[in-house]
Amino acid sequence: MKKKIILIGMMGSGKTTIGKKLAKILNLDFIDTDKIIEKDCKIKINKIFEKFGESFFRKKEEKVVLKLLSKKKSSVMALGGGAFLNKKVQKKIIKENVSIWLDVSLEAIYKRCKGSNQRPLLNKKNNSNLKKTIKELMQIRKPIYSKAKFVIKTNKSATEVCKKILFSIKNII
Ligand code: S3P
């Protein structure tokens, strides 16, 4: 298999947890694009937003993700929630790789994100607006995420989600 398996979806949709598990099952490397950006910049994502702003982060994200996508080795990749909105990234993923959208309900995302202070797009609003903020982001992003090759509803355990993914991709890997 030469293709990469790219997990896309909202913050808190389980891309990292599921990605790690899937990579282990398939005996592939696991890559978390946010972790590479943090390593490159030597600071956490929320600090990048705080110090340099979102547009700086997006430019860095585009550069890092395109570079990772151009590597020959196959892997399982967890993409930061906004990276697939970038046209160049989107095009490359759709053309050359296997994209999987982890489609999680608003309620589940809200529950997973409400205690976190590591998510700059959600932290900048006060908590009473958190659900509304997530809902608005989801409304904008759903049509874009739905361009992924596979859509997996992930209200089940990570093991069940991995099984579903493996079943979906069995003919192309
Ligand atoms: C973002 C998601 C985050 C991170 C950054 C922006 C987004 O990654 O890249 O905070 O725009 O949805 P996760 O989806 O891994 O939380």
pLDDT by residue, tens only, the chain of 173 residues:
578 999 999 999 999 999 999 999 999 999 999 999 999 999 999 999 999 999 999 999 999 999 999 999 999 999 999 999 999 999 999 999 999 999 999 999 999 888 887 888 887 655 578 899 999 999 999 999 999 999 999 878 999 999 999 999 998 87
Q: CA–CA separation, 145 vs 101, rounded Å?
A: 6
Nearest one of 49, 52, 56 to 11, comparing CA atoms: 49
Residue 124's pLDDT is what? 64
Q: Report whether CATH 1.10.10.60 matches the domain 5-169.
A: no
The ligand 1 atom nearest the CA atom of 12: 16
Give the predicted TM-score (pTM) of the model.
0.95
Hey, which bits of 44-172 come out as E strands?
Answer: 75-78, 98-103, 150-153
CB atoms within 10 A of CB 114: 14
Distance 9 CA to ligand 1 centre (A): 9
Name the residue of 100, 119, 137 to mutate for ligand 1: max ligand atoms within 8 A of Cβ.
Answer: 119
Q: CA–CA separation, 159 vs 165, rounded Å?
A: 10
